[in-house]
Chains A and B, each alone.
Chain A
Amino acid sequence: NAGVTQTPKFRVLKTGQSMTLLCAQDMNHEYMYWYRQDPGMGLRLIHYSVGEGTTAKGEVPDGYNVSRLKKQNFLLGLESAAPSQTSVYFCASGGGWAYTEAFFGQGTRLTVV
C-alpha cells in the first residue's frame, strides 16, 4: 500500500520556469491538500480539493494552480516560478468528513534560483 506518493522529490527551477508537482493516493480519499512548509511558518495550505473535479483556495494560493481531474491525483502547478516559492511542498489526502486525519506524502523540495 503506497499511501500518498509525490513526484518529484527534488527540483531546481530557474525564475520564470514552470513545473507541475504530482500527488497520487491509493486510499480512495475524497479530500486532498497541498501545503508548503517554510521555516518558522509551519504548514500553510495552498489549495485543496473535496472531490474529483473540485478545487478551492487555501491560505496562500497566489502563484499556484491545481487540478483534480481524477480522484486519485492532485496536481500543483507553478506557471512562472519565483524565488519566494522555494519551499518544501507536502501533499496530503484524507481528512474531511469521512476521515479524521490526513495522510501525508514524503514532500518535494523545490528551489527556485
Chain B
Amino acid sequence: DQQVKQNSPSLSVQEGRISILNCDYTNSMFDYFLWYKKYPAEGPTFLISISSIKDKNEDGRFTVFLNKSAKHLSLHIVPSQPGDSAVYFCAARFNDMRFGAGTRLTVKP
C-alpha cells in the first residue's frame, strides 16, 4: 500500500530553467509534507516542508505547492542549477513518515 507516489522516475532540465517535481498521496490524515534531496552514497537531507493547512511554502529557489483537494504536491526549483542534480524524495507525515519512490533530477549545463 504505497501511500505516497512519485510517478516520474526521472526529469531532465536545462540550467536556468524551472524544475517541477510532482508527488501524489492517498492518506488524508497526513499533516506535513516534506521534500528530501539525496546524493549517491549519502543519506537524504531535508529540503523544504509544508503544513497541510497551507498551500505554498517558499525558501529561496525552492517552492512547494500543496493541493489538498487533489492530494497532490509539487516542488518547483527556479532557476535550476547543475548542483541540484540528485534524487528527490517526497515524504508525508502522520504517525510515521512515508516516502515516495523518488525522482532523479538531472540539470544540464
Contact = CB atoms under 8 A, between A and B. Distances in A.
B108 to A, nearest CB: 23
Interface residues of A, number: 25
Contacts of B98: 45, 59
Give chain B's interface residue range (CB within 8 Å of chain A).
20 to 34
Interface string A41-53: 1111100101000
What secondary structure prevails in chain A residues at the interface with B?
strand
Given A100-B32, A102-B97, A42 B102 contact: yes
B44 A104 contact: yes
B1 A59 contact: yes
Given A58-B96, A59-B1, A95-B93, A41 B45 contact: no
B60 interface: no
A47 to B, nearest CB: 9
Interface of A: 4, 33, 35, 40-45, 48, 50, 56, 58-59, 90, 92, 95, 100-107
